[in-house]
Amino acid sequence: MSDLQQGILVVDDQKVVRHTLFLCLQNLGFTNVYQAENGREAKKLLNTHSIQCVFCDLNMPIEDGFEVLKFLDAQAYQGAIVLMSGEEEEVLASTANLARLYQLNIIECVAKPLSFATVKRLLTASERVLDMEAHHAPHALPPLTAKLLKGYIDKGGLRAFFQPQISLSSGRLKGFEVLARLFKPDESMVFPDLFIPTAEKHIESITDLTKRVIECAYQDINQYGQDIATLSFAFNISAKVLEAPNFPQWLQATTAKYQLRPEQIICELTETAFTTDQATIDTQMLRLKMMKFKLSIDDFGTGYSSIAQLHSIPFDELKVDKRFVLDCLSNTKSAAVVEQSIQLAKAIGVNVVAEGIETQAVCDFVKALGCDIGQGYLYAKPEPLNVFDWRTASIQRGNRE
């Protein structure tokens, strides 16, 4: 846990809580542990010390934990945060949800008092998250400018990464979701959070990007010839792309050019896709459907119109958003959303994908509810296609963390 040696801050108005936590941390080998008895003191320490992890109580008389969160958010704090509270479970769960609105690495919202085992587990989780953050770091950096994005794309920096989707009943590989990645000339990787929003500002740029990602993926897929003919490939299609008049025709021609069948190709439409020109978008989706492409609602449950959309457009699949899947075993509301989404899908006869499956326990949970397909870090992170042994959905090289 050497990464955490930079400093840990414990914020709590109760001296006994601070002291117990201090002793736990010392026992675990952490020497730079700072203490603050309220938010105001915490802010001072955060301004003057290098702190990698904050344990923060929510309910404090002078500047509470929410004030500290606001402060950390304004500073774009990159360390790990554990929230502590003596409140009942439902308040803790809602707080965890609220905390997600901040662009912060909130590890967990835990009930007080914390046991030694809990502190140890949280520190391990912090390390893992900070490690991932070091790779991903979406909010550490501003989005790319349109000019930079175009420059990197023109230099061939756009590539397709593939994340396996597993049939939960058979355990076999069903297909892949394709996710865009951008590589700078120095081969450092840029995640979509930093360039999709830039591209989405203009129909032309997001359409161009989407077409390139699809062609890039088709080229990769083509290397495997007939071996891959039974698998499906899902692409993320945003609303603006559907506003481009020729997109369905382009997809049809390009799919044929690479000798793939439209039935293999899934167009994942995000719910934000439904907020602009509804008639145009519905028309394009119906065109895609008539060309035999599959339609999927991505991030199901996160918008306001998803059920209405499911009702009016002939979707083939819905994807339960990962925010509900990730904590469905610890958050009863998430569990209810997951369960109801699966039941809704079953009732209207569409496939259902649970994305964000990170543990076997979550996999077992969604499978028992009748979910057809699973996707998540439990199986694999998105990787270049050649990294997978696609017969078994396992990864050939040691890229998996």
Q: Does 268 bind Mn ion (CB under 5 A)?
A: yes
- The nearer residue to Mn ion, 18 or 174, going by C-beta atoms, is 174
Nearer to ligand G, 38 or 255 (CB): 255
Measured from the CB atom, is 20 or 165 closer to ligand G? 165
- Nearer CB in complex with ligand G: 221/357: 357
Count the site residues for Mn ion by CB under 5 A. Answer: 3
* x/- track of binding to Mn ion for residues 291-320 (CB under 5 A): -------x----------------------
Q: Of the two residues 108 and 299, which places its CB atom closer to ligand G in the complex?
A: 299
Nearer Cβ to Mn ion, position 66 or 233?
233
CB of 28 to ligand G, least distance (A): 26
Name which of residues 79 to 108 contact Mn ion (CB under 5 A): none
Nearest residue (beta carbon) to ligand G = 376
Question: SS3 for the chain, per residue?
Answer: CHHHHHCEEEECCCHHHHHHHHHHHHHCCCCCEEEECCHHHHHHHHHHCCCCEEEEECCCCCCCHHHHHHHHHHCCCCCEEEEEECCCHHHHHHHHHHHHHCCCEEEEEEECCCCHHHHHHHHHHHHHHHHHHHHHCHHHCCCCCHHHHHHHHHCCCEEEEEEEEEECCCCCEEEEEEEEEEECCCCCEECHHHCHHHHCCCHHHHHHHHHHHHHHHHHHHHCCHHHHCCCEEEEEECHHHHHCCCHHHHHHHHHHHCCCCHHHEEEEEEHHHHCCCHHHHHHHHHHHHHCCCEEEEEEECCCCCHHHHHHHCCCCEEEECHHHHHCCCCCHHHHHHHHHHHHHHHHHCCEEEEECCCCHHHHHHHHHCCCCEEECCCCCCCECHHHEECCCCEECCCCCC
Question: Choosing among Mn ion, ligand G, none, which partner's interface includes residue 248 (Cβ < 5 to 8 Å by kind)?
Answer: none
Contact 336, 330 (CB under 8 A): no
Residue 37 interacts with which of ligand G, Mn ion, none, CB < 5 to 8 Å by class: none
In whole angstroms, how close is the CB of 52 to ligand G at the nearest point?
A: 21
Of 236, 331, 341, 375, the residue at the interface with Mn ion (CB under 5 A) is: 236
**Minimal distance in Å, beta carbon 211 to Mn ion?**
17
State yes or no: residue 271 binds Mn ion (CB under 5 A): no
Binding site for ligand G (CB under 6 A): 163, 179-180, 191-193, 196, 210, 213, 236, 238, 298-299, 322, 355-358, 375-377, 382
Taking CB under 5 A as the rule, which mask of x and - marks residues 211-230 in contact with Mn ion? Answer: --------------------
CA-nearest of 103, 129, 106, 111 to 1 is 129
Among the residue ranges 19-27, 100-108, 261-269, 384-392, the one whose residues contact Mn ion (CB under 5 A): 261-269
Closest to ligand G by CB, 58 or 266: 266
| 213: partner contacted, choices ligand G, Mn ion, none (Cβ within 5-8 A by kind) | ligand G
Report whether 275 contacts 239 (CB < 8 A).
yes
Whether residue 5 contacts residue 30, with contact meaning beta carbons closer than 8 Å, is answered with yes
Nearer to ligand G, 85 or 236 (CB): 236
Find the shortest distance in angstroms from Cβ 132 to ligand G: 9
Per CB under 5 A, the segment of 120-128, 246-254, 260-268, 359-367 that binds Mn ion is 260-268
Site residues (vs Mn ion, CB under 5 A): 236, 268, 298
